[in-house]
Structure 1
Amino acid sequence: MTARPSSPPNAPRGASGSPPPRRSAPDPAPGPARKARQSAASRTGGAKAATRGVRAAAPLGDEDRRRLLDGAHHDPHALLGAHPVRGGVLVRALRPYARSVTVLAKGLRAGLHPEGDGLFAGVLPLRTIPDYELLVDYDDATVTVKDPYRFLPALGELDLHLCAEGRHEQLWRALGARTMDHQGVTGTRFGVWAPHARGVRVVGGFNFWDGTAHPMRSLGSSGIWELFVPGIGEGELYKFEITRPDGSKTVRADPMARRTECPPATASVVEESHHRWQDADWMARRGERPVHQAPFSVYEVHLPSWRPGLTYRRLAEQLPAYVKDLGFTHVEFMPVAEHPFGGSWGYQVTGFYAPTARMGTPDDFRHLVDALHQAGIGVLMDWVPAHFPRDDWALAQFDGRPLYEPEDPARAAHPDWGTLEFDYGRAEVRNFLVANAVYWCEEFHIDGLRVDAVASMLYLDYSREDGGWTPNVHGGRENLDAVAFLQEMNATVYRRCPGVVTIAEESTAWDGVTRATHHVGPGGFGGLGFGLKWNMGWMHDSLVYVSKEPVHRKYHHGEMTFSMIYAYSENYVLPISHDEVVHGKRALVSKMPGDWWQQRATHRAYLAYMWAHPGKQLLFMGQEFAQGAEWAESHGPDWWLLDPSYGAEADHRGVRDLVRDLNHTYAGAPALWERDTDPAGFAWIDGGAAEDNVFSFVRYAADGTPLISVTNFSPVVRHAYRLGVPGDVAAWREALNTDAVRYGGSGVGNPEPLRPGPTPWNGREVSVTAVLPPLATVWFVPT
């Protein structure tokens, strides 16, 4: 992963963030003037309330009163709501700015006595607690509400136990905001993990961003705070006002929010899904064939810039048809989880459970995934558990102390991106991330997670100088907590979500990235459990080779063949990703030397070489039609290059036609994918033709059917080029030739089948002579 910029200094920040679009957002902590008005209103309201027959309650103790009003009480339900007392039922309510509060129940209308500071209380002449409501009279309105403090906790003991153990695999069902019917009443249960907090209150549009009336209760030693608020439903904006250990306050977005405001606004949104999935057939069959033995060709997309301005639903009208036409089996979305700064491309996440609101709602995103599945296209998603930004309304020092990050500031700070790393050794943090991986797969039907920046998680000394890091308990550089987290995440996802694949972006020689977690390798670690790993070594070496002038390529021949030395050490994806076409690296076609014709020819030859090489393929948007400019998230691909009026038939449209044919030919040739992880599925014909700039090899299907790939990275035609071939094939025909005229090539090729002769060559008993087009790859299959 390249270094992404963090939020700029002038990015929207602050405790309460931007005000909601429909409501003003007053200071959540009332100032002295407001408190004075509140007290006055309480005193005058008492004269108007019908308090006859209601005895005054014993006043709250000074400490309880102070902590309650200051938002620092761990058990507001013990002070507020209805409680049996000698001689009746005590009801106490906290309603700032109210003139009076009246208890309404069947056959009962009883005014409460004002106690100042928005508190009202009274002892009702009742034997049992009734099902009651509160009639609250303000200067300009009178409202009837259910009392949040008459309800039992809406979070069960099993949920609390699993959360404390760090084993709640559906954590999003326990924490965050959930609409529900609780004790026969409809409302929203709010839950948040903040173990260091002295108190937590819910603030939102429903209380005009003043949480005084909505303190939450602490549920034992779990560190979880909970409150059920009747009458609150979908679409409500909210945050949590947290009283830190030092008594100061911070207002935070919900870490478990399943929907957010559109950046730069930062509030969380109460959300429930109403999407009706139409992809049952896809979900039932996606796991029928192991991904390692299946065609797997990926089109990487940055959704906001693929065609700028499109919503999720508009993307659903265009993206599936485009990808299906080109023959890719999967799309991979760069991160879609909510992020405040668009220039981070989604790699600095603040809302891990919320699809970005920039393009629509979570159900709109579900609609896009559904449409891709109905088109027969799998959906992969970049997932970023390696770090998070420091925005002071999000996760950083969430409850006043390091919580999601390690306590040691040096250990917490990510050295490259100005962000914070997760504390993988803390059970609740590990649970937050493992459940998040499951969440995207279960709630959004995601078919695979590409895990970003795995190397930065695995090594304690990643990008750190000597003395800037602390060894593990064995004296090593491995982050043992991160290893355990990745193993747990992979094992959990594969167990819960059949057919899902996890993919590691890992750039080192760590042993066993795609080995099963229970198989211990030479280093003493179990495998990390990923299904696939990006082959960063192949990407780097091959791009170095093709960027050289042809006359110099013979000196770099080994950089192309070296990948086969380790090709079966892991299960690989060959990635030409967004990272390779930004920050001055130039677009893929622009890396190639020579004039425009030679650049396009080498681009085509390279893609066909890549598709034939063992491993799966990934290509970033814009490279499928040889865009010459670097990608920029501000405008996306240069689609105008494909306009027929531009005369691009033999240029960019020709390259796109090649990619289409590559994918369709690939899908129909099991030799190119069925034995990607089996060394018996590959054999060099000649891997040492450095002087010729030629690479030739055979791929074999499970039934032994061969396919020959020959690439000539020289700008000259090689006539009668002899190749040793498998001896049980009567004739070979061209299945694909990147020099075809329709792709923009010169049309050199082998129109007639090649018939083997008895001349031994390349260590084989029979051989053929072929014409090798300039700067081209040719695939031959048995006739």
Structure 2
Amino acid sequence: MATRAAATPVTPPPVPAELAGLDDGDHADVHHHLGAHPAPGGPDGGVRFSVWAPAASHIAVVGDWNFWDPATTPMERVPDSPMWTAFSADARLGHRYKFAITDQHGHTVQHADPLAFRTEPAPETASIVHTSTYRWGDGEWSGHRAHVLASPMSVYEVHLGSWRRDPGEPHRDLGFRALATELAEYVVEMGFTHVELLPVMGHPFAGSWGYQVTSYFAPAARWGEPDDLKHLIDTLHQAGIGVILDWVPAHFPKDEWALGRFDGTPLYEHPDPLRGDHPDWGTYIFDFGRQGVRNFLLSNARYWIDEYHADALRVDAVASMLYLDYSRAEGEWRPNQHGGRENLEAVSLIHAANVLVHDDGVGGFTIAEESTAWPGVSRPVDQGGLGFTLKWNLGWMHDTLDYFAKDPIHRQHHHHDLTFGVHYAFNENFVLPLSHDEVVHGKRSLLAKMPGDRWQQLANLRALYGWMWAHPGKQLLFMGGELAQEHEWDHDGSLDWAGLGDPGKAGVQRVVRDLNHAYRARPSLWSRDVEPDGFTWLDNDPAHNVSAFARMGSNGEVLTCVANLSPVVHYDHLVGMPVAGRWTEVLNTDAQLYGGSGVGNLGAVVADGPPAHGQPTSARITLPPLAVVWLEPS
């Protein structure tokens, strides 16, 4: 139980002059001024508390040092400002606290600090005074971040609570620090270049997977303290792995103790229910046009890049931000000032956030989960785009999974689903996502989506990965996809690591590992990833479920990908080839090593045939069943 600290003769530092202007113009540093900040001079110097609450009639800081008594540490409004501040000489690092906010009608609610750097584990909701003491060791990584568009990028999407749990206590999350070394070693072994973490920001409800955030500046306490997350990111960086954090600026939950009706009025949320209430998720939508909200979100984007050394932010639910009529029927939405459906304030915020993160002083990149045909999502703002670096290609994902789910006998009638993505592959800078969203809510696991008996399911899954890794675009695979999991993802359990005792599943893991390492070693697959001239079709034969293409690198490298997505072997299949001579079989997803039948080309083919399919020469290739073969000039 907390004890009241003795009075300490500490002279309070002056009120920071910056507080008065934080609601005027763009500011991406509000986290340096709002929240709880220990005074300079050491851990016994007291704490300055500051909060944005323009409509409050009275605010007090309550916490461990004052027995949660609102009469002890009242806050004062900063003159000519919507900010409130107080200094407590008795508050210390590690003390829990909240803001007791009284609205204009005399009703008081104790709110967590929106700018808290640390929080209690759920179901408790207090903020905690925190200053990081972490010493980073990733200087070499941070100084040599690669330009992702012309570099290999293969992303392993991870939910930290269910990647691997303690076998002795399967219901206990291992957390940031406990997972750090094991996750880094596994990702390096598997050959992925980046890890994308489902939201690590504070969220009380585990079933939201982190997408209903209540503490935007504090890591989820269920997985450890803030410096534990820094240790995880640092460990990944020192292993050569980039870190992408999921970021959720679109909406937030309605918990009374968090951001909702923070000063008794709609402060963070839009006051108009047609713009401020999300019909799908039961959450509030941020008021993107309000300057204080805009600064909160811009500062939050910068905070995770600066303070936690994140390499990128993957922005969730961008479409819900862009459209005023998102998930709303006629009459349930209000047009913008021009009569359109675009949320112009959200577009402006997205522009500002992307410019900020791409700035040389920040050094990150951004990825949009955007499911519509909004033009220029991954084009720079000064060229009329939204300014993201990359965009998830959800159209490719849906079409490709629909194709692979078909029985091979019907695939010839759906060949367009397999190939259509190339028609727009260079309209944006794309990520090809097989994400967590595709293995939940009755959609089945990737393995279970595949048709046929067990051998055919495994073969189809290996072929899907072989096709995906060669296709234009960066790759993203949700954890468990490489394990050929039987069942949908369970956020309350662990991945099925024991399933690797099945040779067929171990073969899928091995093929993902080999695909990653082969991909990273071949500039033909990534150095011109966003250039149409880096791709050409070689063959499309719907009647035989065959498709082939070539990828070309910036220095003349070339690789061909040939897919036979029928369950029968095609012998001596003619494929046009861009270069004559011997071509080595780099990878064959039907190899016995992976659990396949071992049909192949004895390690190589020779392109010495007549011109075919618009290419100067051709080769006769044995195409294994339900498989993808990669070839490159010897």
SS at match of 2:182: helix
Distance 1:711 1:199, change over 3 A: same
Equivalent pair of 1:153/1:226 in contact (CA under 8 Å): no
CA–CA distance in structure 1, aligned partners of residues 605 and 539 of structure 2: 18
Match of 1:571 in 2: 429
Q: Is residue 367 of structure 1 aligned with residue 231 of structure 2?
A: yes
Amino acid of the residue matched to residue 151 of structure 1? P
The one of 230, 246, 259 equivalent to 1:395 is 259
Q: 2:38 matched to 1:179? A: yes
Residue 139 of structure 2 corresponds to residue 280 of structure 1: yes
2:542 is equivalent to residue 690 of structure 1: yes
1:204 aligns to 2:68 (yes or no) = no
Q: How big is the shift at 1:182?
A: 7.2
- Residue pair 1:724, 1:766 contacting (<8 A) in 2 also: yes
1:144 equivalent in alignment to 2:3: no
Q: Residues 455-494 of structure 1 correspond to what in structure 2 (within 5 A)?
A: 455-494=319-358
Letter in 1 for 2:84: W
Larger gyration radius, structure 1 or structure 2: 1
Q: Distance in 2 between matches of 1:758 and 1:144?
A: 91
Q: Distance in 2 between matches of 1:184 and 1:553?
A: 67
Does 2:596 match 1:596?
Answer: no
> What corresponds to 1:746 in structure 2?
597
User: Which residue of structure 2 lines up, in the alignment, with residue 770 of structure 1?
Assistant: 621
Partner SS state of residue 192, structure 1: strand
In structure 2, what is the equivalent of residue 651 of structure 1? 504
Q: What does residue range 239-250 of structure 1 map to in structure 2 within 5 Å?
A: 239-250=98-109
- Within-5 A mapping of 1:29-428: 143-146=6-9, 151=12, 153-155=14-16, 157-161=17-21, 163-181=22-40, 186-286=45-145, 289-308=146-165, 309-428=173-292
Distance 1:766 1:470 in 2: 60
Distance in 2 between the 1:586 and 1:183 partners?
54
1:580 and 2:438 aligned: yes
Distance 1:172 1:698 in 2: 49
Given that 1:151 and 1:183 are in contact with CA atoms closer than 8 Å, whether structure 2 keeps it comes out as no
Contact 2:19 2:83 in 1 (8 A): no
1:187 Cα deviation after fit: 1.1
Q: In the TM superposition, what whole-angstrom CA distance separates every residue of 1:474-499 from its partner, at most 9, and x where no partner exists?
A: 11100000000000000011115554
Matches of 2:102 and 2:123, distance apart in 1? 25
Task: Give me the whole-angstrom Cα distance separating, in 1, the residues matched to 2:542 and 2:370.
Answer: 30
Kept in 1, the 8 Å contact 2:19–2:78? The answer is no
Contact 2:534 2:553 in 1 (8 A): yes
Which residue pairs with 1:670 in the alignment?
523
Question: 2: CA distance between counterparts of 1:154 and 1:498?
Answer: 28
**Cα shift at 1:703:** 1.2
CA contact (8 A) 2:581 2:608 kept: no
Bigger mean CA deviation after superposition, 185-194 or 443-452? 185-194
Preserved contact between residue 154 and residue 182 of structure 1 (Cα < 8 Å)? no
Return the letter of the residue paired with 2:516.
N
Question: Any conservation in 2 of the 1:153–1:228 contact (CA below 8 Å)?
Answer: no
Distance 1:394 1:752, change over 3 A: closer
Are positions 1:622 and 2:485 aligned together?
no
- Residues 543-554 of structure 1 aligned to structure 2 (within 5 Å): 543-554=401-412
Secondary structure, counterpart of 2:584 in structure 1: strand
**SS of the residue 2:45 aligns to:** strand
Q: Which residue of 1 aligns with 2:612?
A: 761
Contact 2:56 2:263 in 1 (8 A): yes
Q: Contact (CA 8 Å) 1:441, 1:497: kept in 2 or not?
A: no
Return the offset for 1:142. Answer: 9.6
Whole-Å separation in 2 of the counterparts to 1:142 and 1:367 = 33
> In the alignment, which residue of structure 1 is the partner of 2:375?
511
Shift of 1:184: 12
Is contact 1:333-1:381 (8 Å) kept? yes
Task: Report the AA paired with residue 659 of structure 1.
Answer: V
Tell me how far apart the structure 2 counterparts of residues 142 and 358 of structure 1 sit (CA, whole Å): 29
Distance 1:622 1:328 in 2: 14
**How far is 1:772 from its partner?**
0.3
The answer for the alignment partner of 2:414 in structure 1 is 556
Q: Structure 2: any 5+ residue segments left out of the alignment?
A: 166-172
SS in 2 for 1:366: helix
Question: Quick one: which of 381, 389, 401 aligns to 1:531?
Answer: 389
Query: How many angstroms apart in 2 are the aligned matches of 1:297 and 1:584?
Result: 27
Structure 2 SS opposite 1:367: helix
CA distance, structure 2, for counterparts of residue 486 and residue 549 of structure 1:
42
Equivalent of residue 436 in structure 1, options 300, 322, 341: 300
Deviations 1:95-143 (A, max 9, x none): xxxxxxxxxxxxxxxxxxxxxxxxxxxxxxxxxxxxxxxxxxxxxx994
Q: Could you tell me which residue of structure 1 aligns to residue 563 of structure 2?
A: 711
Question: Counterparts of 1:170 and 1:683 in 2: how far apart (Å)?
Answer: 47
SS in 1 for 2:47: strand
Q: Deviations over 1:683-721 (max 9, x none)?
A: 00013x110111100000001211000011100000000
CA deviation string 1:200-219 (max 9, x = no partner):
10001111111201111101
What TM-score do the two structures reach when normalised by structure 1? Answer: 0.79
Q: Secondary structure at the match of 1:528?
A: coil
Cα offset, 1:151, TM superposition: 3.4
Deviation of residue 529 (structure 1)?
0.4
Q: 1:276 to 1:635 in 2, by over 3 A?
A: same
Contact 2:601–2:621 (CA under 8 A) maintained in structure 1: yes
C-alpha separation between the residues in 1 aligned to 2:44 and 2:498?
56
Paired residue total: 627
What SS is found at the alignment partner of 1:710?
strand
Q: What SS does the corresponding residue of 1:211 show, helix, strand or coil? A: coil
CA deviation after TM superposition for structure 1 residue 247, in Å: 1.1
Report the secondary structure of 1:221's partner residue. Answer: coil
Ranges in structure 1 where 5+ consecutive residues have no aligned partner = 1-21, 25-140, 520-525
Distance 1:230 1:556 in 2: 71
In the alignment, is the contact (CA less than 8 A) between 1:707 and 1:782 conserved in 2? yes
Aligned twin of 2:169: none
Shift of 1:146: 3.5
Instruction: Name the aligned partner's letter for residue 531 of structure 2.
Output: D
Moved more, 349-358 or 204-213: 204-213
1:606 aligns with 2:457: no
Distance 1:201 1:146, change over 3 A: farther
Q: In the alignment, does 2:572 pair up with 1:726?
A: no
1:470-524, Cα deviation, whole Å (9 max, x unpaired): 11111110000000000000001111555411000000000010111011xxxxx
Residue 631, structure 1, aligned to residue 489, structure 2:
yes
TM-score scaled by length of structure 2: 0.97
SS of the counterpart of 1:403? coil
- SS of corresponding position for 1:312: helix
Question: What CA distance in whole angstroms lies between the structure 1 residues aligned with 2:619 and 2:19?
Answer: 68
* SS of residue paired to 2:631: strand
| Contact 1:153-1:227 at 8 Å conserved across structures | no
Displacement after TM superposition at 1:221 (Å): 2.8
CA contact (8 A) 1:320 1:377 kept: yes
Alpha-carbon separation, structure 1, partners of 2:229 and 2:398: 34
Q: Which amino acid aligns with 1:777?
A: V
The CA deviation at 1:183 is 12
Check whether the contact 2:356–2:362 (CA below 8 A) recurs between aligned residues: no
